[in-house]
């Protein structure tokens, strides 16, 4: 074999390996996305505890879990909304499930107090699943120096500290029974995009959750506890105030997608059309995305400032 033939054989072999690898990835993706069975959630335990359960994604997950026969412990800051949500779940799934609730305003009590209240609330319950869904975002985009102190406080307390202390309260009982699942709701802003300017604190708080989840996933996997960070793109809730569409699902559609991923990978974009968006976004070079995001959010900031000044002049 002369050099030319050898070079041709190596090139064909490498090309073949590359095609096989891509095909394997594609088939694996089809399996994960459409065919892989959902885990039996009740096997983790008979109770699910959900923070941020009085609205949006958290509330939809509470209904989704109740439909699967799980008892629900709702965590929320507003007693009236907790009562309404509890009643709505009982009305829909009452015969099959129990619902309890605990009032915790994560912005206004210390981390240790959050932990104590959750520990008391779960005492005697067979908690299998924890969803850390409570979250706060900017009402509109703004520079970091413009973020008012109350908003700054609530983002750090709810998104970062709340999730951390609730997890700290729940994990010992999961370790004891050697099973459990923890789902932290992060954000696509930190995984899919290279930066999220003018919504900096929110994105940074969600980046914390991605790393927090990834690390404790490794710490507790061998103890039977599946910990993951789910990173949605836009969902139609009071946080985004966006109308529902194919790429902006309702919380109900989104929560069905979430449930399918519980117990599997440690970082997931659960909704198919978000995954498609992420794939397309990742093909764009960072430098273009950075410049686009900056212009996009500067525009949002301008609109937010106009709305604020209109409100103030009323």
CA–CA distance, 6 with 3 (Å, rounded to integer): 5
If binding is defined by CB under 6 A, does position 130 make contact with ligand NAP?
A: no
Q: How many amino acids of this chain bind ligand NAP (CB under 6 A)?
A: 31
Long-range residue pairs from 297-303, CB within 8 A, at least 24 positions apart, any chain: 297/141, 297/196, 297/197, 297/198, 297/199, 298/141, 298/198, 300/140, 300/141, 300/198, 301/140, 301/141, 301/142, 301/143, 301/198, 303/140
CA–CA distance, 124 with 121 (Å, rounded to integer): 9
CA–CA distance, 29 with 24 (Å, rounded to integer): 8
Binding pattern for the stretch 253-292 against ligand NAP, x by CB under 6 A and - elsewhere: ----------------------------------------
If binding is defined by CB under 6 A, does position 180 make contact with ligand NAP?
A: no
Quickly list DSSP for 113-133: HHHHHHHHHHTT--EEEEEE-
Segment contacting ligand NAP (CB under 6 A): 20-28, 37-45, 237-245, 298-306? 237-245
User: Which one among 45, 56, 128, 249 touches ligand NAP, defined by CB under 6 A?
Assistant: 56
User: Which one among 52, 128, 180, 249 touches ligand NAP, defined by CB under 6 A?
Assistant: 52
Please report how the helices 56-67 and 79-93 are oriented relative to each other, as an axis angle in degrees rounded to 10: 30
User: Which one among 78, 96, 110, 299 touches ligand NAP, defined by CB under 6 A?
Assistant: 78
Segment contacting ligand NAP (CB under 6 A): 100-108, 145-153, 213-221, 257-265? 100-108
| Helix, strand and coil in the chain, % to nearest 5 | 60, 10, 30
If binding is defined by CB under 6 A, does position 232 make contact with ligand NAP?
A: yes
CA–CA distance, 189 with 231 (Å, rounded to integer): 8
Could you give the 3-state DSSP secondary structure of residue 226? strand
Which residues, 6 or more positions from 183, have their beta carbon under 8 angstroms from its beta carbon? 129, 130, 131, 132, 228, 229, 230, 258, 262
If binding is defined by CB under 6 A, does position 137 make contact with ligand NAP?
A: yes
Segment contacting ligand NAP (CB under 6 A): 74-82, 86-94, 255-263, 277-285? 74-82
Quickly list DSSP for 80-126: HHHHHHHHHHHHHHTTT--EEEEE--TTTS-HHHHHHHHHHHHTT--
User: Which one among 136, 169, 203, 216 touches ligand NAP, defined by CB under 6 A?
Assistant: 136
Closest contact distance (angstroms) between CB of 51 and ligand NAP is: 6
- Which of 137, 147 has the CB closer to ligand NAP? 137
44 is known as an active-site residue: no
Which residue among 202, 220, 254, 271 is the active-site one? 202
Closest contact distance (angstroms) between CB of 108 and ligand NAP is: 7
Closest contact distance (angstroms) between CB of 7 and ligand NAP is: 50
Closest contact distance (angstroms) between CB of 198 and ligand NAP is: 16
User: Which one among 71, 187, 190, 259 touches ligand NAP, defined by CB under 6 A?
Assistant: 187
Q: Which residues are catalytic?
A: 202
Chain residues that interact with ligand NAP, rule: CB under 6 A: 52, 54-58, 76-78, 81, 104-107, 133-137, 154, 158, 185, 187, 232, 234-235, 237-240, 251
């Amino acid at each position: 074999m002369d050099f030319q033939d050898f070079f041709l054989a190596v090139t064909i072999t490498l090309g073949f390996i590359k095609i096989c690898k891509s095909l394997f990835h594609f088939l694996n993706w089809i399996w994960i996305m459409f065919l892989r069975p959902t885990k039996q959630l009740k096997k983790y335990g008979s109770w699910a505890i959900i923070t941020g359960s009085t609205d949006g994604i958290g509330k939809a997950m509470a209904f989704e879990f109740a439909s699967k026969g799980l008892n629900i412990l709702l965590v929320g800051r507003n007693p009236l909304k907790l009562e309404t949500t509890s009643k709505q779940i009982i009305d829909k799934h009452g015969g099959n499930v129990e619902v309890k609730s605990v009032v915790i305003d994560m912005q206004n009590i210390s981390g240790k107090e959050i932990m104590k209240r959750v520990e008391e609330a779960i005492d005697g319950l067979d908690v299998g699943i924890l969803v850390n869904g409570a979250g706060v975002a900017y009402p509109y985009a703004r520079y970091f120096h413009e973020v008012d102190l109350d908003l700054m406080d609530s983002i750090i307390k709810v998104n970062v500290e709340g999730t951390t202390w609730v997890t700290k309260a729940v994990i010992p009982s999961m370790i004891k029974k050697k099973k459990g699942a923890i789902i932290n709701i992060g954000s696509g802003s930190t995984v899919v995009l290279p930066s999220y300017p003018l919504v900096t604190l929110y994105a940074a708080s969600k980046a914390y959750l991605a790393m927090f989840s990834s690390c404790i996933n490794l710490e507790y996997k061998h103890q039977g506890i599946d910990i993951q960070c789910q990173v949605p793109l836009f969902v139609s809730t009071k946080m985004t105030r966006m109308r529902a569409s194919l790429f902006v699902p309702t919380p109900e559609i989104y929560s069905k997608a979430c449930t399918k991923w519980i117990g599997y990978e440690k970082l997931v974009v659960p909704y198919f059309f978000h995954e498609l968006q992420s794939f397309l976004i990742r093909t764009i070079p960072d430098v273009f995305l950075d410049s686009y995001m900056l212009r996009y959010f500067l525009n949002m900031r301008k609109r937010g400032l106009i709305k604020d000044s209109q409100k103030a002049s009323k």
